[in-house]
Structure formats: structure tokens, C-alpha cells
């Protein structure tokens, strides 16, 4: 399915709500021309980061890293988290060397769900450190591995 109009707005709101599950993040859906979809403030560091929502019927194939940088610079952001379920190899190449990571929405949802089910408070530090150490990459497998390793025994 393609996420446009109201569906895209719902996706952005879901991301805002998801990031607000971290006790040390203040996320706000902003959207609109020239702005990032969701602005997040990492309270511990008093720094901002951008969350961009991209979802289409087919694989997401065209990334304008310059525009993402403008959105990030507009909030003095540390980095951009690109949330997209499917993308082409060209997108992976486009983010190399950039302050951008890719994270699949299902992996983020699984991470949040499992942590929130077990712990009362969820801190952002782990995710932040993964992003800092993996800029220009898809961090989905790393996050998924952490979730599986941490919670697979509990499921048994």
C-alpha cells in the first residue's frame, strides 16, 4: 500500500507516539514543506534529531539526502532516522557517509513493544549509541538482534 495524505499523517503520528515511549525523548510530529516529519529532542543531551517517514507501495527508491540534511539543519539535528519498510539498493548507497540511518518500522515496533512489556521505563541511550556508531547504514538487523537476544528466552 502507498502511504499518502491521511495515511501518511497516521504513520507520522504513530512514529511520534513510538518515540515518545522513550522517557528521555520529546517527539513532535511537524511535517509540511521544508520540515522533518517528526522532530525529536533527546533530553539527556539537550540535542535534536529528525525522523523521516517514507513508505510506498513498491520499494522506496529515491532519496534526496540534501533535503534531509536541510530538514536536519533546520532543527540543528544530530542525525536523521529514516523509517521505511522497503527500499532499493540505491537508497542504501545514498546514505553512505551521511548522518542518516535506516530503520524498518516493524523492527522499531518490535523493539518498543518488547521493552515496554518488560520494563516500565525505556531510555533512548542504547538506540542513540547504535545510531552514532552506524551512520550511513541500515541499523534494522542490529536492533532486531538485540531484541531477539534479549527477549527470546522470555517467549519460551
The pLDDT, as a whole number, for residue 5 is: 55
Cα 66 from Cα 75, distance rounded (Å): 15
pLDDT classification of 2: cutoffs 50, 70, 90: very low
Q: Please list, in sequence order, all residues whose beta carbon lies within 8 angstroms of the beta carbon of residue 3, skipping any fewer than 6 positions away.
A: 11, 53, 55, 56
Residue that wins the pLDDT comparison between 71 and 88: 71
d(CA 102, CA 135): 9
> 106-125 pLDDT, tens per residue?
999 999 999 888 887 899 99
Q: Could you read off the pLDDT of 3-44 as tens digits, one per residue?
A: 455 677 889 999 999 999 999 999 999 977 788 999 999 999
Does position 1 have pLDDT exceeding 50, yes or no? no
Helix axes 140-155, 125-133, angle to 10 degrees: 140
Q: Higher pLDDT residue, 101 or 65?
A: 101
CA angle 70, 77, 100 (to 5 degrees): 75
Mean predicted confidence (pLDDT) in 130-136: 98
pLDDT for the residue numbered 3: 47
Amino acid at each position: 500500500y502507498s502511504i499518502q495524505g491521511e495515511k501518511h499523517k497516521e504513520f507520522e503520528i504513530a512514529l511520534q507516539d513510538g518515540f515518545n515511549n522513550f522517557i528521555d525523548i520529546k517527539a513532535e510530529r511537524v511535517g509540511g514543506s521544508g520540515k522533518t516529519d517528526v522532530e525529536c529532542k533527546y533530553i539527556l543531551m539537550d540535542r535534536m534529531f529528525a525522523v523521516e517517514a517514507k513508505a510506498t507501495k513498491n520499494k522506496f527508491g529515491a532519496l534526496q539526502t540534501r533535503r534531509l540534511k536541510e530538514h536536519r539543519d533546520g532543527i540543528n539535528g544530530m542525525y536523521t532516522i529514516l523509517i521505511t519498510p522497503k527500499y532499493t539498493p540505491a537508497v542504501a548507497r545514498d546514505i553512505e557517509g551521511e548522518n542518516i540511518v535506516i530503520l524498518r518500522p516493524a523492527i522499531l515496533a518490535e523493539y518498543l513493544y518488547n521493552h515496554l512489556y518488560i520494563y516500565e521505563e525505556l531510555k533512548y541511550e542504547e538506540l542513540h549509541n547504535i545510531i552514532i556508531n552506524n551512520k550511513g547504514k541500515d541499523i534494522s538487523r542490529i536492533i532486531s538482534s538485540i531484541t531477539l537476544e534479549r527477549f527470546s528466552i522470555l517467549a519460551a
